[in-house]
Amino acid sequence: MNSHNGYRAMSNECNPKTDPSEPMVCQIRIKGHLGCQWADWFGGMTITREDDGDTLLTGPVVDQAALHGLLRKVRDLGMPLVSVICVQPGQADTPE
């Protein structure tokens, strides 16, 4: 389905079993270690310090605006962003 400006309407037809009202689960990897005291500042995300010196922030993210807010906080800390992975709940558990 095309709109008047040439962009296609987004749909969830590729995976109709996902519920768009459920938040995505995101894992944000940053270079350097954060202490657990930062969990509240990151909206209760789980903070995991990896042996390689990275920190993983993991938790539900309700929408793109919330994700951008988290990434803005990473930027404000001055820590390098390594990666961002977001999946619908249960998607990581399904075989490919």
Give CA separation, 78 vs 13, 48, 72, 94, in Å. Answer: 39, 18, 10, 36
CATH of the domain at 44: 3.30.70
pLDDT in tens, the chain (96 residues): 444 444 344 434 444 445 666 788 999 999 999 988 898 899 889 999 999 999 999 999 999 999 999 999 999 999 999 999 998 776 654 444
| Residue 19 included in any domain | no
How many domains does the chain divide into?
1
95, 82 in Cβ contact below 8 A?
A: no
What distance lies between CA 74 and its chain's CA centroid?
12
**Whole-angstrom distance between the N-terminal and C-terminal Cα of the chain?**
27
Residue 41 lies in a domain: yes
Strand order in the sheet with 81-87: 46-49, 54-61, 24-31, 81-87
Residue-level pLDDT at 88: 73
16, part of any domain: no
